[in-house]
Amino acid sequence: MESQEYSHALSLIAWMKESRLESLHLRMGSLILDLKRQGRDQGESRRPGKIRSVLVANRGEIAVRVIRACRELGIEAIAAVSEADRESLPAKMADRVLCIGPAQAKKSYLDIPTVVQAALGAGASAVHPGYGFLAERPDFADACAKQGLIFIGPRPLHIRQMGDKLFAREMASSLDIPVIPGSRLVRNLQEAAQFAEKTGYPLLLKAAAGGGGRGMKILQGPEELQCLFNEASAEAGAAFGDDRLYVERYVPNARHIEVQVLGDSHGNIIHLFERDCSLQRRYQKVLEESPSTVLSPDQRQAVCEAALLIARRIRYESAGTVEFILDQDSGRFYFLEMNTRIQVEHPVTEMVTGLDLIKEQIRIAGGEPLGYSQADITTRGHAIECRINAESPENQFAPSPGRITKWQTPDAPLVRVDSHCYAGYVVPPFYDSLLAKIIVHGKDRREAIERMQTALSHFRIAGVETTIPLHRRILTDEAYRAGKINTGWLEKVFLQNG
């Protein structure tokens, strides 16, 4: 074994000892590292008591992630796939596979009766919704509960409460947590205009029933109000079945900071510190990292305590994320919303804390208490995640479906690739374009950036266009490396100068 490989191995072993990972498998050149933590029984004895089998009601990389977690816990994983995903990696990995309908998501992954009946017919004891699709649909969680299925996520009430952004804002305000100055529900254009006249511009129109950028419009002046109000209302109605809107002050120089929380059914709730998700395009996150480089120790403590206050008020269970906006001009942070699901970017938290959030979700759903207190949670080093999409940045990010003719992932220490793809896989045109998430860990941000640059240079994909070149450009940009960015920087500065 070369001295550098040996040094990396010792570093990984030390990191695992300090973390709470149960197993670690990495290839480093000629060295294969396969570690298991002693003191915990393997196989069936690790299985959460109530959960014998899980229907994975999702697709893509998150389905692979859930299946692997089930396998390590000794739980049967049943993949629910559409006709377009019959040859997907989740279908190849799962213990059993059920086709739940045609390629159109509305007739398969979004069809609640079909998914529930599939779980019952397969004899599953639980359903994991992943993220997206039905993950934040309280009626889906209700349907599972009514049929005796364990929903691996929060209670339906939590999803319903925090899915109502106006309710969430009012609750945060009642806890003396700052919220961005804004309106209550605006029922029509006239009420929006009255608020705008009183508050001034710029403003942000937002959907009351959902997030993810749908139904969200920036208003720079009164001449835009009528057109954008109608657009936002229509988008919200189409996306959430609820066209209600509210208005809040737009913060131009903002950072998007989110805090990961975990809660169990025994009243234990902890935070796992923060992620910085400020690099966004059309309100969709592109690159995430942890910890945030802009928070002072006092700000970090305050934002994490605010997240705990919100989670404790509703006695939250499962994994959730409390999101905030940090105004870099004033140094103040404001509550934004709470997402009642696992996030796409959860691996950066796993890399700095050593916890496996999918396994924690499953254990909590099975009735187990958290195995640690807040004092046990520490972070180590810096992690960065890049989302690799099948899109063409040179062609206005047009989707690039098709057959992958080459798929070669980076093979290096402290580099993780979460993906459902392989050489020969056909990227379907029916779903989101995420191909992979590449996550790296470094002793500090500088090392993490350098490791990500190297990893991206060794990630070879052919047959479809990808966003790898975009990420490589971002990582070399002086403003990004210096941390002089905000939520609008990628679209309004970087891409405009590209």
pLDDT in tens, 301-340: 999 999 999 999 999 999 999 999 999 999 999 999 999 9
From 155, 169, 341, 387, active-site residue = 341
**Res 47: pLDDT:** 58
Residue 366 in contact with residue 51, Cβ under 8 Å?
yes
Which among 325, 297, 288 is positioned nearest to 471, based on CA atoms? 288
Q: Respond yes or no: is residue 341 known to be catalytic.
A: yes
Give, in order, the Cα–Cα distances in Å from 339 to each of 94, 154, 165, 237, 364: 27, 10, 10, 19, 17
Annotation: CATH topology of 254-497: D-amino Acid Aminotransferase; Chain A, domain 1 (3.30.470)
Tokens 């047009």 belong to 398
What confidence score (pLDDT) does residue 48 get? 64
Query: What's the pLDDT at 14?
Result: 52
Is the entire prediction scored with pTM above 0.85? yes
> What CATH code would you report for 181-249?
3.30.1490.20
Residue 457 tokens, joined:
């240079």
Domain boundaries, the chain: 47-152, 181-249, 254-497
Q: What is the pLDDT of residue 175?
A: 97
The answer to whether 405 and 460 have CB atoms below 8 angstroms apart is no
> Which positions of the chain have pLDDT values less than 50?
1-8, 15, 17-20, 25-32, 37-46
Helix 468-476 vs helix 445-457: crossing angle, to nearest 10 = 150
Distance between CA atoms of residues 200 and 221, nearest Å? 8
pLDDT score, position 214: 80
Q: Does 181-249 match 47-152 at the fold level? A: no
pLDDT the model gives residue 3: 45
pLDDT in the model for residue 148:
96
Q: Which of 375, 374, 389 is nearest to 436 (CA)?
A: 389
HSE-up (13 A, CA, CB side) for residue 222: 10
**CATH fold of the domain at 47-152:** Rossmann fold (3.40.50)
pLDDT at 386: 98
User: pLDDT, tens digit, for every residue of 117-133?
Assistant: 999 999 999 999 999 99
